Each structure stands twice: as structure tokens, then as C-alpha cells.
Structure 1
Amino acid sequence: MAVRIKSKWHHTKRKGNLRGGREKTFEDRANVLAHNVWKIAFATYQRLEEEEFKFDTGPQITASLTEIVAFLIQVVDRTVFGQISEEDRKTLVEVLGKRLAATIDDNLTELLGPGDYRQPFIDTLNRRFQGYAQCTYDDKGPGYSFLRLFGDSLAQAMAAADNKWVVEHVMEIEAPPALKLLYKTVAEVLGIKAPQSA
């Protein structure tokens, strides 16, 4: 998956970013992570399109991107668990949710026209978080049940009648490179230990 991630700040003398200037806050880092989560999610969606999985309607595209983002946010949350304070973890998930809701709203408005994309996105995130909370995740990353929920949720979002192999494809082909890139990003941006590979 060829996605260029941002994990370092410019050291130029741009306004507000002077060399030796202000320390980057945890919220700054969470915003950088949100930007990269979106890039990884969109690249995953594009790869599914390239593999000729069908996205027939705007709502299918919206639902599919939402499922990919929900999966990635939940992986971030589970990866940082126990490595950062609960306050920072709460801030991280809130910033990711809000920033990605705004990003998905902006992108889908541009792609599909005006609509209410933000609230359905947040509602889906909340439902998925409850589901993923029941799934296995250890120091190697998401377990089978975690990946299966992702595959099933994405297949449902795609209305996968014509995409009968989407669950297996997502679990075996799409998730590993997305997770590898996400772990690298989380480790670099937050300075924590993340699984090395998916």
C-alpha cells in the first residue's frame, strides 16, 4: 500500500512553527494521526475499487469508508491502551472521531454533493466501537473476531451480493497492509510501541 504518511513536522520558520517553537501537544499529534487514518482508509477503498469490488451508489461509498475508518480508529484505540493515560486516550479517540467526521463530511460533500454525512458517521462509529469491544486484540494486533467483524461490516456496507468474496479479501488482503502502515504511523506520531506487522 503506497500511502505517504505524515509523522514529522516541518522545521522551517513558517508563522507559528518556528524552529524551537512551541511543543507539539497531544491534540496536535492526534490531528496528525487522524489525517493519516483518512489517507489509509481512502487508499484501502481505492484498492477495493481496483480489485473490481462494486460500489454502486453514494451511500455504499459513504458506508464503506465509514466502516474502514471505524476499524482503523478502533485499532488505534486498542493499540494505545495501557501505553498512554486514560485522559490522553479519551482525547485521542474524541479528536479522531471529530476530525474524521469533518473530513468525511468534506470529502463526501465534494464527491456526492451536499448531505448529512457527519451524524450517520458518528452513529456508526459508536455502534462499531461496542462491537469491536467484544473482539480479541493482543500485542500482535486484532484477532480473527476483530478482523471478521471488519470484513462482515464492510461487506454489509457494500451490499455485497455481487461481492461474495469481500469478507475474505478484506481480512486476508486489505487489512494486513493497512494495519502495517497504521502501526508505523501510530508508533512514529505518538511514540509508543505498536505491533510490527499485521
Structure 2
Amino acid sequence: MAVRIKTRFRKSGPKTVEERASVVAVAVWKAAHEAFRRMGKENFNFTSPEQVTGFVTEFIAFLVQIADRIVYGQISEPDRAAFVNALARHLSRNIQDSQVELRGPGDYVTPFFDTLNARFRDYAECEYGPAGPGYAFVRYLGERVAEVMNAADNKWVLEYVMEIEAPDAVKVVKKAVGEVMGVKVG
């Protein structure tokens, strides 16, 4: 995945967890959009703005969960909560801005957070080990994306997401979280 991410701050000195989360949010956003762009180039059909939004939201939910799992046990619980909350807030602003531009005025943050919270519950059942997300973790993303994209019209979505897009996006987020948060990644 050819996603360039910036993991260094212009100003030296200590950074808050929220400032660090903003950098990781950019990486998550870019990784989700790169997955969308590449799937379009591979002739997967996106037929509506809602479908595009659903796709990006599912990828973001997956990648936020990856970021959370990476920092788990490596930073304090209060810092972890602050990191995940700040990450979600930054991404919700991106969702709101992009949806207003794409679809017009409205509340796009509430459905985004509803999906994010639902996926947190669902992904909590999935294994994440030293090598990264387990099979069920990645398959769940593939299933969610296939559902959003109406798999009957895009029959290889599940496999493509699991084999190509998810692993590439995970690499981007691992790099960003590891460098920005100063934690060990598998």
C-alpha cells in the first residue's frame, strides 16, 4: 500500500496522547481511503455515496480496533482510553466534513459512532496476537465490507479484503502507532 504517513512532529518536546492520536488518525484515514481507491481500480463496484461511506467506516472501525490492540498493555489504561477516544473524535470530524462535502448538510457523526461502538463489541470477540489480527478478526472486516458492497454484485470482495487490503492497511497502522506512540508492534 503506497500510503505515506508523517510520524514526526515539527516542534520538539513532549506530545500529549491526543496530539499523538491525531497523527495516527491521519494514517487510519489515509489507509481506509487507499483501500477504497485500490478496490475501485480493481473494478469493484461502488454504486452510491452511502456504499462508499459504509466501506470507509468499516475500514476505519477495523483500524481503530487494531490501533487499540497495539497499545493495549503498553501504555496506561487512562492513556489508552484517551488515545482511542481522541482517535475516534479526529476520525469523526473527517467523516463529518467529507460527508457534508459529498452529500450535503446532516449529522454523519452519530451513525459513525454507532457503527464504531458496535464494531468494538464485535471485534472484542476476535483474537489479536503478536503477529497481528487473527483470521476471525480479518474475516469479520471482509464480511462487513461484503455486506456494505452487496457481495452479489462484487463476489470476490470478502477474499480481496482479507488477502490484500486488510493486511496492507494493518501495516500502515502498525507503523504509525509504533512510531508515534513509541510502542512495540508485532
What secondary structure sits across from 2:2 in the alignment? coil
With normalisation by structure 2, the TM-score equals 0.96
Shift of 1:160: 2.2
- Corresponding residue for residue 63 of structure 1: 54
Which structure has more helix as a fraction of its residues? Answer: 2
2:103 to 96, 100, 112: 112
Q: How many residues align?
A: 186
1:127 correspondence with 2:118: yes
Q: How far apart in 2 are the matches of 1:41 and 1:4?
A: 13
Q: How far apart in 2 are the matches of 1:40 and 1:158?
A: 18
1:93 to 69, 81, 84: 84
1:79-112, Cα deviation, whole Å (9 max, x unpaired): 1111111001100110111110111110121123
1:170 to 143, 161, 165: 161
1:79 correspondence with 2:81: no
Identity of aligned residues (%): 51
- Corresponding residue for residue 2 of structure 1: 2
With normalisation by structure 1, the TM-score equals 0.90
Shift of 1:113: 2.3
- Corresponding residue for residue 190 of structure 1: 181
Runs of 4+, deviation exceeding 2 Å: 111-116
More contact order relative to length (CA 8 Å, sep ≥ 6): 2
Question: Pairwise CA RMSD of aligned residues?
Answer: 1.1
Q: How far apart in 2 are the matches of 1:82 and 1:181?
A: 21
Report which of the two structures shows the higher radius of gyration computed on alpha carbons.
1
Runs of at least 5 residues in structure 1 that lack an aligned partner in the other structure: 11-16
